[in-house]
Amino acid sequence: MNDKKVESSKLRVEGQKTDAPFVPVSVSQLSTLNPQPQFSPGQRAWQRFRRNRFAVISAWYLVFLLLAIITWPAILKITGGSFAQIHNPNQLSDAQFAPPGVQYWFGTDVHGRDVFSRILYGAQISLLVGIVGAGVSLVIGVLWGAIAGYVGGRVDSAMMRVVDVLYSLPTIIFVIVLITTLGEMLKQTHFVGSSPALARALRVALLFVGLGAVSWLTMARIVRGQVLSLRTRAFVEASRALGGGPVRILARHIIPNVFGVVITYLALTVPAIILYESFLSYLGLGVQPPMASWGTLIAEGVGQINPIRIYWWLIAFPGGVLVTTLLALNFLGDGLRDAWDVKSRA
Amino acid sequence: MAIFQRARRIFSRARFCFGTAGVFFLCGVILLSGCLRREAPADLTIINGGEPESLDPAIVTGQVEIRAVRGLFEGLTRLDPKNARSIPGLAESWEISPDGRVYTFHLRPNLTWSTGEPITAGDVVYSWVRALNPATASGYAGLLFYLKNARDFNAGKIKDTSLVGVQALDQFTVRVDLDQPTAFFPDVCAMPVAGVVPRQTIEKQGDRWLMAKPLPVSGPYELVYWRLNDKIRLRKNPRYWDAVNTQSKIIDLLPVGSPNTALNLYECGQADIVWDKELVPGQLLDVLIRRPDFHAFSYLGDYFIRFNVTRKPFDDPRVRRAFALAIDKERIVKKISRAGEQPASHIVPDGTAHYTSPEGLGHDPERARKLLAEAGYPGGRGFPRFEYVFSAPASGGDKLHENIAIELQQMWHDELGIQMDLRQLEAKIFYTVQAHLDFDLSRSSWTGDYDDANTFLDLFTSDDGNNRTGWKNAQYDELIGRANREPDLKAREKFFQQAETILVRDELPIIPLYFYVGINYYDTNKIQGIYPNILDCHPLQAIHKIKTGE
Amino acid sequence: MYFLRRILFAVPLLLVISALAFALVHLAPGGPFDRERAPASPEIERALKAKYHLGEPVWKQYCRYLGDLAHGDFGVSLKYRNHTVNDIIAQGLPVSMLLGALAFGFAMGVGLPVGFFTAARRGRWPDYAGSFLATLAVCVPGFVVAPLLILFFSIKWKLLPVGLWETPWHMILPPVALGLFFAGKVARLFREGMLSAMQSEFVTAARAKGLGENRLLLRHAFRIAVLPVVSYSGPMLADLLTGSFVIENIFQIPGIGVFLVNSSLNRDYTVVVSLSLLYAMLLIGMNLVVDFAYTRLDPRVKYE
């Protein structure tokens, strides 16, 4: 509540300093008054963000992670020799199930591959999956929900029924059909069929699209709910009274106000998508071996949990990195929401 | 002070919230637990593998189903628990004609169904004809093709059942006419497809006959209930001809899909026996093998790689031989499968009755490289990229196929300089791909149906549906055909050996990797009546659990 | 009136869903009878297909399915050929519903208070701790939580059974493992809702009127704050009540969650379509309840 104190007693006339407690001014002079240093909303948001410790730590962590992901392959290429060979994520060795040590920082798996390296390479896939998938779900979901909630009536009914229909279709079969049928169709075209590398890239791309396509539905529902509440509010009435058309109202009033819930939910969608990808890998539909993603690494690691002997590094490190990254994404999302949301200043 | 009051009020409100939800939780549990039946614990709880697809003996093909069905329905012969050889079952004796083509089985007197009606020779004929009827769509009908006219009847070319080579001479005598002498025919009679099923119930209820209560059974156990994904409960059938030797009264079969869950249930005493190869957590094998309650034994099955010989460059046997010579099978067996399997250079497992396999190709990377160069790809240059397909494991299952694939990829890259891509396919897609020869290399396996070399070797004849390599070799077909017409076991073995030599030394449409090892876990101090044998067949009626205090 | 219309609309909606599901599952490559071993003769394959009418054009099969459905017959499972889909649902649905109800109770019972606390104590350490735990609950996948819970509670400390679903003791770990994720989500959504409600005009007005903080929070803000949670409850309940594949697989619980996934993988057409229909019916029902609750909670919301 502290920074709300408006320093109304220190009105300053431009160019003049005065100690007088109150200077009556006329309306025409209002525009020349400069009560306090003006920051743009963006700058203010940035300042608020900086004050949120968790968000800042998370941001730094994510930056660090991204740097690590980008530079690691380069490091391996530069150092070459045995270092590169040991840390090659696809290099099999005889050091099966080695615990973390000097040579293999995070230990090795059943094939003697370096877990540390596999985590970094797997991060590429997982983060891409999460970001692209969440992006797709954001765009479709927000638009769909906002339009449905704002327009209301039969359009709302119809749009939400479509959401219901799509929601009740089993996602697994949808993903299977999408990936295999579309994949087959694309393979037939000469463009793709001639290049196996392109075919592989396309298979991964289809995975992203598929995941995004099944994730936008709940976002739409939540946005629609919020919009239903919002559209009866005074400021929306006011905007309409001032002659604003539906698109303008949607864009400038409704959507920014659902932003808070959307960001929070988005921050919950990215982990959901990454986790769904790991579930798909569990069923054999996700990323192709020997490519790794965090999901496949964790699925492998979970198989290690048993009452007899646990190779703890196979679950602790991939799991730890995944959880930390997702936590960071969440706190970042929270921080952004708190920074931007006009009304949540406490 | 005010802070305290506020805190208390907040806590009380929160407790209210938490409390109501908690009460909801507990009420639900208590109320609905009252609805649960309290039932007697079983004498024996066995984790059998996954959920059986069906308990109809005529149509089942999987090991899981066969183990359960063998407890319910019996045939003319059954398998000895100690060595899995066929011994008299519903038939007490039989005669074989000198040319080996006519069997006359004599049923025991006083056989009855569990519901009291007599079991007659007519029931046997009905059951076999039903299994051969194309409308029943039996997966194992092929086993009965040794009967005269059976193949044609199954293919729909003949409609008259009296032409099929099985007849009831009178109430207790069954006469079987075979196309050619088949030394292992009594073993075939012990298979569930030849089991005797209740005509009276099937004619009345059609496909729902297994849901009939009571269900007439011809085997040592009756079906109490069958709850999907929950359990199958069996109870001793007092009217079984050998009921006096049935050891356990109530047996529960649990369907568990995930190896870790199976291990957990076993370790915590909720299951007595776990017997399914798929249910052993692969990464723990090296520890488990050393425990006294883990029993590993050779088993009539192997793991191999299939080539698609209709695709270049795998149409060249030199390429295939090079691939085989470049694999270090010891390493795969030691590092990946780790159950103490034997690396395989031939396809018929060691220990198969009446047969010793010829030696196939070993591990010789130098020779492999020479062969590859001869075929036109020195050092792997110019060799096209190709794909190795394998199926995804069931959820929670072991990633054995993937792990082997990764090792193979590395081996062929290091030794031969070629690049292989891996392709993991969902199970159904994998089967479709195999059936349509839409692959380059594929992982494969085969389990023998009966203890004879033929069950492995006839797979690769030119028009066998399970060939799936596109390989057609007239000489091979000729040898197999001659072997099967030969009544003398020694001469038969020679033909098979010649055929197998073509298969695993010269042509190699497949590369054998290793022979399966079955693993069961149970405590030998508590469980009696299980004996390791090559078919991994452990009749339920022989198993007995010693209860504490006995 | 509005709700009556919604219920009437549900019927054609369910038809559309069944048609889509039917088409979708037939599009996927592979069939229910493809297996590792080839059938003994092509005649068998033909007979099998004919028996289950798989050779007919898809629309014809669909009409046949609808015809059976009109008699309350969901068809025979193509994988478990001795069981009808009615058998499967009758056996599995009650179990899954119980599991789901318990998990829902856990999710609400833990999520709502945590969300409330973190909003009420915003910016201070209970907020940080609570938010952290809620986020953590959402970040750890179910197939990691479940084995870990089993490892500690069942194996190491031997407090609870390892799996199966027989006595009340068996019913503690699975709902917790299932509900943890949703508890985290509920906590986050409720916190967000509370924060936005606390800033709204009428709460400011009530505060200005001099209402005590707690009364304010609970009586006025709660109804508005819980809206996002209520929105989310519809699909959440439908998901929970149809069981969870991961939990049922790991704890070996005989619900229908396992069927929902496996039927797709097995191309068990009848089961896939029937379970989709079931799920759709539950979902539509839950959404109706949710929308109704909306009008009760926020009087400003009106449906035309």
Mean pLDDT of A127-135: 85
Q: What does the DSSP assignment read for A133-154?
A: HHHHHHHHHHHHHHHHHHH-HH
In whole angstroms, give the CA distance from residue B289 to residue B519.
9
The strand pair at B294-307 and B527-528 is best described as unpaired
CA-based nearest distance A256→chain B, Å: 32
Q: What is the pLDDT of residues A167-186, one digit of tens each?
A: 777 677 777 777 777 666 66
CA-based nearest distance A99→chain B, Å: 15
pLDDT at position B479 is 93
Angle between helices A255-282 and C173-198 (to 10 degrees): 160
pLDDT at B291 over 60: yes
Interface probe, candidates B254, B428, B438, B468, chain C, greatest C C-beta count within 10 A: B428
| Contact by Cβ (8 Å): B510, B442 | no
pLDDT at position A252 is 75
User: Is the CB of C40 less than 8 angstroms away from the CB of B261?
Assistant: no
User: Is the CB of B270 less than 8 angstroms away from the CB of C161?
Assistant: yes
- Look up the pTM and report it: 0.82
Q: What is the pLDDT of residues B33-72, one digit of tens each?
A: 555 556 788 899 999 988 898 999 998 888 899 999 999 9
Terminal CA-to-CA distance of chain A, rounded, Å? 6
Indicate the range of B1-15, B408-422, B492-506 predicted with least confidence: B1-15
Indicate the range of A130-139, A255-264, C127-136 predicted with least confidence: A255-264
User: Is the CB of B393 less than 8 angstroms away from the CB of A306?
Assistant: no
Tell me the C-alpha to C-alpha distance, in Å, between residue C213 and each of B2, B16, C188, C217. Answer: 12, 18, 21, 6
Q: What is the pLDDT of residues A190-216, one digit of tens each?
A: 555 556 667 677 777 777 777 877 788
Average pLDDT over all residues of chain A:
76
| Contact by Cβ (8 Å): B209, B201 | yes
Indicate the range of A112-116, A164-168, B433-437 predicted with least confidence: A164-168
pLDDT at B2 over 80: no
Write the single-letter amino acid at C140: V
Q: How many CB atoms lie within 10 A of CB A11?
A: 16
User: Is the CB of C41 less than 8 angstroms away from the CB of B59?
Assistant: no
Cβ contacts (< 8 Å) between B427 and chain C: which residues?
265
- Nearest-CA residue of chain A relative to B427? A284
pLDDT band at A67, cuts 50/70/90? very high
DSSP assigned state of B167: E
Cβ contacts (< 8 Å) between A288 and chain B: which residues?
422-424
SS (H, E, C) B244-299: HHCCCCEEEEEECCCHHHHHHHHHCCCCCEEECHHHCCHHHHHHHCCCCCEEEEEE
pLDDT at position A7 is 40
User: Is the CB of B32 less than 8 angstroms away from the CB of C82?
Assistant: no
User: Is the CB of C163 less than 8 angstroms away from the CB of B264?
Assistant: yes
pLDDT at B114 over 60: yes
Interface list for chain B against chain A, based on CB atoms closer than 8 Å: 260, 263-264, 267, 281, 283-284, 287-288, 335-336, 385, 391-393, 395-396, 398-399, 402-403, 405-407, 409-410, 421-427, 429
Q: In sequence order, which residues have a C-beta less than 8 Å from that of residue C221 and are 6 or more positions away?
A: C194, C197, C198, C203
The strand pair at B221-227 and B166-170 is best described as unpaired
In whole angstroms, give the CA distance from residue A286 to residue A299.
12
| Contact by Cβ (8 Å): A179, A203 | yes
In whole angstroms, give the CA distance from residue A167 to residue B536.
46
Interface probe, candidates C44, C167, C262, chain B, greatest B C-beta count within 10 A: C44
Residue environment code for B497-517, b if the CB has 16+ CB neighbours within 10 A, otherwise e: bbbbbbbbbebbbbbbbbbbb
pLDDT above 70 covers a percentage of chain B that reads 92
Indicate the range of A124-128, A228-232, C60-64 predicted with least confidence: A228-232
| Contact by Cβ (8 Å): B73, B218 | yes
pLDDT above 90 covers a percentage of chain A that reads 5
Write the single-letter amino acid at B147: L
| Contact by Cβ (8 Å): B308, B319 | no
In whole angstroms, give the CA distance from residue C38 to residue C44.
10
SS (H, E, C) C228-278: HHHHHHHHHHHHHHCCCHHHHHHHCCCCCHHHHHHHHHHCCHHHHHHHHHH
Mean pLDDT of B212-223: 92
Q: Which helix (H) or strand (E) holds C112?
A: helix C85-120
Interface probe, candidates A283, A297, A298, A313, chain B, greatest B C-beta count within 10 A: A283
CA-based nearest distance A235→chain C, Å: 12
Which one, of B135, B161, B134, B130, lies nearest residue B148 by Cα? B161
Indicate the range of B295-304, B490-499, C170-179, C223-232 predicted with least confidence: C223-232
User: Is the CB of A303 less than 8 angstroms away from the CB of B426?
Assistant: no
pLDDT at B315 over 60: yes
CA-based nearest distance A16→chain C, Å: 38
In whole angstroms, give the CA distance from residue C141 to residue A278.
9
pLDDT band at A279, cuts 50/70/90? confident
pLDDT at position A282 is 67
Cβ contacts (< 8 Å) between A334 and chain C: which residues?
131
Which one, of B227, A296, A274, B164, lies nearest residue C253 by Cα? B227
CA A256 to chain centre: 18
The chains in contact with chain B, meaning 3 or more Cβ pairs closer than 8 Å, are A, C
pLDDT band at A295, cuts 50/70/90? confident
pLDDT at position A103 is 85
pLDDT at A136 over 80: yes
In whole angstroms, give the CA distance from residue B544 to residue C186.
51
| Contact by Cβ (8 Å): B115, B241 | no
Q: Is B254 on the interface with C (CB under 8 A)?
A: yes
Cβ contacts (< 8 Å) between A275 and chain C: which residues?
141
Task: Give me the phi and psi of B186, to 5 degrees please.
Answer: -60, -30
The chains in contact with chain C, meaning 3 or more Cβ pairs closer than 8 Å, are A, B
What six digits make up the tokens of B412? 């062929």
pLDDT at B511 over 90: yes
Average pLDDT over all residues of chain B:
87
In whole angstroms, give the CA distance from residue B321 to residue A126.
40
Interface probe, candidates C25, C26, C36, C102, chain B, greatest B C-beta count within 10 A: C36
User: Is the CB of C254 less than 8 angstroms away from the CB of B230?
Assistant: yes
CA-based nearest distance B178→chain A, Å: 45
Which one, of B416, B321, B418, lies nearest residue B369 by Cα? B416
pLDDT at position A215 is 81
Cβ contacts (< 8 Å) between A194 and chain B: which residues?
none
Cβ contacts (< 8 Å) between B449 and chain C: which residues?
none
> For tokens 């637990």, what's the residue?
B33
Tell me the C-alpha to C-alpha distance, in Å, between residue B138 and each of A49, B67, B193, C70. Answer: 69, 17, 8, 31
> For tokens 């329905």, what's the residue?
B73
pLDDT band at A15, cuts 50/70/90? very low
pLDDT at A5 over 50: no
pLDDT at position B18 is 54
Q: Is A35 on the interface with B (CB under 8 A)?
A: no
Rg (Cα) of chain C, in Å, rounded? 24
Q: What is the pLDDT of residues A34-47, one digit of tens each?
A: 555 666 766 777 77
Mean pLDDT by 10 residues, chain C (304 residues): 78 86 83 80 81 87 90 88 90 90 92 87 81 86 86 87 86 92 89 80 72 66 79 80 81 87 86 87 81 75 60
Write the single-letter amino acid at A162: V
| Contact by Cβ (8 Å): C136, C129 | no
Which one, of C249, C129, C114, C115, lies nearest residue C177 by Cα? C249
pLDDT band at A14, cuts 50/70/90? very low
Number of H helices, E strands in chain C: 14, 0
pLDDT at position B550 is 47
Mean pLDDT of B198-203: 93
CA-based nearest distance B371→chain C, Å: 32
pLDDT at B450 over 70: yes
In whole angstroms, give the CA distance from residue B322 to residue B440.
16
In whole angstroms, give the CA distance from residue C3 to residue B522.
59
Cβ contacts (< 8 Å) between C149 and chain A: which residues?
none
Q: What is the pLDDT of residues B222-252, one digit of tens each?
A: 999 999 889 999 999 999 999 999 999 999 9
Tell me the C-alpha to C-alpha distance, in Å, between residue B336 and each of B260, B282, B396, B398, B406. Answer: 18, 8, 17, 11, 10
How buried is C198 (Cβ within 10 angstroms: 0-12 exposed, 13-18 middle, 19+ buried)? buried
How buried is B436 (Cβ within 10 angstroms: 0-12 exposed, 13-18 middle, 19+ buried)? exposed
In whole angstroms, give the CA distance from residue B116 to residue B382.
72
Indicate the range of A308-322, A326-340, B424-438, C141-155 predicted with least confidence: A326-340
Q: How many CB atoms lie within 10 A of CB B385?
A: 11
Which one, of A294, A295, A313, lies nearest residue A304 by Cα? A313
pLDDT at position C81 is 87
User: Is the CB of B399 less than 8 angstroms away from the CB of A300?
Assistant: yes
Residue environment code for C224-246, b if the CB has 16+ CB neighbours within 10 A, otherwise e: bbbbbbbbbbbbbbbbbbbbbbb
Name the residue facing A290 among B263, B287, B422 (closest C-beta): B422
Cβ contacts (< 8 Å) between A177 and chain C: which residues?
24, 27-28
pLDDT at A113 over 70: yes
From chain B residues 104-163, the ones with a CB under 8 A of any chain C CB are 134-142, 145, 151, 154-156
- Nearest-CA residue of chain C relative to A310? C151
Q: Is A313 on the interface with B (CB under 8 A)?
A: no
User: Is the CB of C13 less than 8 angstroms away from the CB of A164?
Assistant: yes
Tell me the C-alpha to C-alpha distance, in Å, between residue A237 and each of A158, C104, C302. Answer: 25, 38, 15
pLDDT at position A192 is 54
Q: How many CB atoms lie within 10 A of CB B462?
A: 13
Cβ contacts (< 8 Å) between B397 and chain C: which residues?
none
Q: Is A305 on the interface with B (CB under 8 A)?
A: yes
Q: So what's the ipTM on this one?
A: 0.83
Cβ contacts (< 8 Å) between B22 and chain C: which residues?
105, 109
In whole angstroms, give the CA distance from residue C11 to residue C66.
13
The strand pair at B173-177 and B102-107 is best described as antiparallel
Indicate the range of A122-136, B5-19, B232-246 predicted with least confidence: B5-19
Indicate the range of A96-100, A273-277, B340-344, C74-78 predicted with least confidence: A273-277
Alpha helices per DSSP H over A181-254: 183-188, 190-193, 196-230, 234-241, 246-249
- Nearest-CA residue of chain C relative to A304? C147
pLDDT at B92 over 90: yes
| Secondary structure (3-state) at A130 | helix
Task: Enumerate long-range contacts of A337-340, CB under 8 Å, 24 or more apart.
Answer: A337/A259, A337/A260, A337/A263, A337/A264, A338/A48, A338/A49, A338/A52, A338/A55, A339/A45, A339/A46, A339/A48, A339/A49, A339/A52, A339/A55, A340/A45, A340/A259
- Nearest-CA residue of chain C relative to B205? C82
Write the single-letter amino acid at A163: V
| Contact by Cβ (8 Å): C157, B264 | no
From chain C residues 130-149, the ones with a CB under 8 A of any chain A CB are 131-132, 135-136, 138-141, 143-144, 147-148
